[in-house]
Structure 1
Amino acid sequence: MKVMISLLLPVLLAQGDLVPSSTLSPPQSETEAGPSTPKTLVPQNQPPQEEEEEEARLVAGGFELSRATSNLGFDLLRKMTARHEGNLMFSPLGLSFAMGTLMLGTSGPTHAQILSGLGLQTLSRTQPLPELFGHLRKTLTHTRELGLSQGSWAFIHKDFDVTETFRNLSKRYFDTECVPVNFRNASQARGLMNHYISKETQGKIPKLFDKINPDTKLILMDYILFRGKWQTPFNPAFTEVDTFHLDKYRAVKVPLMFASGTFASSFDVNLRCHVLKLPYRGNATMLVVLMQRLGDYLALEDYLTTDLVEAWLQNMKTRKMEVFFPKFKLDQKYEMHHLLKQMGIQRIFSPWADLSELSPTPRNLKVSEVLQRTVVEVDEQGTEAAAGTLTEITAYSMPPIIKVDRPFHFLIYEETTRLLLFLGRVVDPTRL
């Protein structure tokens, strides 16, 4: 059984010399950056009618949160392309959950800037975001057949004071477990955290931390473990080594899996790409996007949006097909803080970060980095992972046989909420 894992680690450091110099611009006022979102709690023990209305509100808000998370993923993919030419894979959901946990500790302009960068400022005016995150997490993890689990840890330095509000809210909405750590003993702290990671990812990531800054006060870590089984498995007896074309001049040999069955597909006439649904059990799907012409796959990324994906899905036709799809494994690690800064989330990484909701003594606290590591392995049984305007779409142009033998994109999403769990690009299946 293969595993898809996403790990995010916002690292908060307490440093002695974080006072801004006089040459730097003064911090923005709360009025300029916008008010922070009130962390409203919903009253418990409501009457049945109010509970139904509350559930309907959370479901509607969940769709908006899902849409914002997916568009965040597409925006990040475009920014990643400027830095990475080869294989890419990350979890928009994992990043959204990690930043959602982090937002519980922020206030003022710092909080408002994160909302804006994540595209959640409008939703936050009408809905309490922590509740939406919590409801979405429960929806995903309570579907046993989906095979998705999510968890969060807060590794806290033994003498670092964290507010009870942050502890309670992070536990309630993100199921965050607080673990005391002595970061001054870096070797012991590293061993403890690697033990937690290895255990929760079932050994798929046995070691994540190579070194720890002894000035660290808190490490927040979110993980997502996805074990999806195909509705129509590929028969291992039919897997054969074949040619995968990297470009017009280069090719590699890869094992291509084969399945014959009923699949949904469409063809985007404007973008000249085939779109194929490979469904998992439990309301999850891998959407494979294959450009008609070799070498055009990078151009697709400029157009990816939730509206485009929805148009593809609404115009699909189910038919009998034969599918050839490569086995592959990816192990990707990214410094997300660089990308978040490009999206306008800068204050949290600066000396002016306001983390007053996290600690009663927030002076000299800032976030040093946000890392994400995602591992995916796709085989015959499934995927298990430890993290322009369209004018014409037709469902009839895809050939009865589709052979994914050139670079392609894949999206793994949950059907009910349309939440984008993982997003990736495979340029060379023989490389991690």
Structure 2
Amino acid sequence: MMTSFSSQGLLLLAGLCFLLPRTQTTYHKELDNDPSIDPFQCRKVAFTISNVSISLYKEMAQKSRNGNILFSPIRVVAAILMLSLGVKGNVSQHILEALRFNKTGLPEAEIHKCFQYLLRAVNQPTGMSPLKSGGSMFIHQGLKLVDKSVKRIKDIYFSEVISTNFSDSSSAKRQINNYMMKKTNKEILNMVKELKKDTFLALMNYIIWNGRIVSDFECQFIQMEDFHLEYRKTIKVAMVTNVDMYHLFRVEELSSMVLVYGYTLVTYIIIPDKGKMHQVEERLTYPHFRQMIQRLNLRIVKVHTPVLSVSETSDVVSMMSLLGITPFFNKEANCTVAAEDTPQKSFKVISKAVLTLENMGTRPPMDLCLKNELWANAPLVQINRPFLIFIQDSTNYAPLFLGRVANPRK
């Protein structure tokens, strides 16, 4: 008899920063063979990012009780650390403590080196991966970046540095938006909505993943089904019925079913019982994910997955405030990014996450497919109500994506 779990989940990937495809393979091999990089120590950095990101997520969830939340933990934290390259002394220490890196026992230089190592996992050549990602720092023309900072921004965080006239805010906004539009092949438009006239720096990064739902058993079809939103509202969405191998188990402490899959990138889909989303968000900790690893149990599962199109823009400056980090581009911070006599005081940091999940190789419903004796009694997971998602790299445990999908079509 078929076991039914009225549930939902999804698949996604994420990434960071931009590096020219010509140099990526060689550069990654150099990192693998770099004796100054200790993968074990860098995993401690990855675990710390995960812990911080869940605390950050909880703060965001309090402010957005019912909408979608989607961001890349490693991308957001990398942006903050990249900005910290321009500050010194107590301010730099404050940033590391707010991000909990002081608990790793690693010196600041080694933490930055670990980000170089962790980011390599998501710097894939465009032609070989559905992942597109990049980062660019726009600096007010006439201001100077310390040469050492420029090199570290490019070499460690794989970001470009571009001169911009922020005195003309409309022109600067147009320049940034056009640049990001070209970088993403028009997949991201109008990334910047507004700029203050006293802006001296804008850091933009993006993550795009165009995923496909596949079945190793070639049992897959698509049909319109209900997706249950909050407040008893429903919408019709294209839902892909798919048969494949997944880890499926229940976590009673979170009142949730959990679906796990993936090899290079591991996807955790947490499907709270009806009405339990906020309770799960309050209870969730990173150790829960570590415990889930002990529960992995691969088996054939029938999954109804919504065709997904989610896009979220994160104001990293606001996220810094949620983490207890105050703006640090000022004389008290002994900032080395901008000239001391500049009238510009504001800065903007934006992280854009775009996720699509489409069907691949689907065909009309076929009784022979669903009634195949190999999976006739396989459990059924219906991804038809809000769920949480966490993605991490399976090698270095870098947290790539974290969020809540409340509506798969936003």
Q: Aligning the two structures, in what range does the TM-score lie when normalised by the shorter sequence?
A: 0.7 to 0.9
Unaligned runs of 5+ in 2: 1-10, 18-29, 362-376
88 and 114 in structure 1: CA distance in 2 versus 1, 3 angstrom threshold: same
Secondary structure of the equivalent of 1:208?
coil
237 and 230 in structure 1: CA distance in 2 versus 1, 3 angstrom threshold: closer
Identity %: 22
Q: Does 1:198 align with 2:177?
A: no
Partner residue of 2:226 out of 218, 229, 243: 243
Q: Give the Cα separation in 1 of the matches to 2:341 and 2:104.
A: 27
1:171 matched to which residue of 2?
154
Q: Does 1:116 align with 2:97?
A: yes
Q: Give the Cα separation in 1 of the matches to 2:64 and 2:209.
A: 25
How far 1:148 moved relative to its partner? 3.9
How far 1:371 moved relative to its partner? 3.3
2:86 matched to which residue of 1?
105
Unaligned runs of 5+ in 1: 9-47, 383-397
2:397 matched to which residue of 1?
418
1:31-430 correspondence runs (5 A) = 53-55=35-37, 57=38, 59-85=39-65, 86-123=67-104, 125-126=106-107, 128-142=110-124, 147-230=130-213, 232=215, 238-247=221-230, 249-279=232-262, 283-291=264-272, 293-348=273-328, 353-359=332-338, 361=340, 368-381=347-360, 400-430=379-409
Aligned-partner residue type, residue 377 of structure 1: T
How far 1:259 moved relative to its partner? 0.6
After superposition, the C-alpha distances for 1:162-213 in whole angstroms (9 at most, x for unaligned) are 2111111111211222212222233332222112211222211122223333
Secondary structure of the equivalent of 1:128?
helix
Q: Give the Cα separation in 1 of the matches to 2:355 and 2:281.
A: 21
Aligned-partner residue type, residue 302 of structure 2: E
Q: CA RMSD in A?
A: 3.2
How far 1:140 moved relative to its partner? 3.0
Q: Contact conserved, 1:71 with 1:306, CA < 8 A, in 2?
A: yes
Q: Contact conserved, 1:107 with 1:354, CA < 8 A, in 2?
A: yes
How far 1:107 moved relative to its partner? 1.0
317 and 125 in structure 1: CA distance in 2 versus 1, 3 angstrom threshold: closer
Bigger mean CA deviation after superposition, 248-257 or 282-291:
248-257
1:31 matched to which residue of 2?
none
Aligned-partner residue type, residue 119 of structure 1: R
Aligned-partner residue type, residue 380 of structure 1: N
Aligned-partner residue type, residue 388 of structure 2: H
TM-score, normalised by the number of residues in structure 2: 0.80
Aligned-partner residue type, residue 112 of structure 2: P
How far 1:155 moved relative to its partner? 1.4
Q: Contact conserved, 1:329 with 1:378, CA < 8 A, in 2?
A: yes
135 and 143 in structure 1: CA distance in 2 versus 1, 3 angstrom threshold: farther
After superposition, the C-alpha distances for 1:309-337 in whole angstroms (9 at most, x for unaligned) are 12112211111111111122222223333
Q: Contact conserved, 1:4 with 1:375, CA < 8 A, in 2?
A: no
Aligned-partner residue type, residue 177 of structure 1: E
Q: Give the Cα separation in 1 of the matches to 2:131 and 2:51.
A: 21
Q: Give the Cα separation in 1 of the matches to 2:172 and 2:393.
A: 35
Q: Give the Cα separation in 2 of the matches to 1:214 and 1:152.
A: 22
Secondary structure of the equivalent of 2:240?
strand
Q: Give the Cα separation in 1 of the matches to 2:13 and 2:404.
A: 15
92 and 213 in structure 1: CA distance in 2 versus 1, 3 angstrom threshold: same
Q: Give the Cα separation in 1 of the matches to 2:239 and 2:57.
A: 26
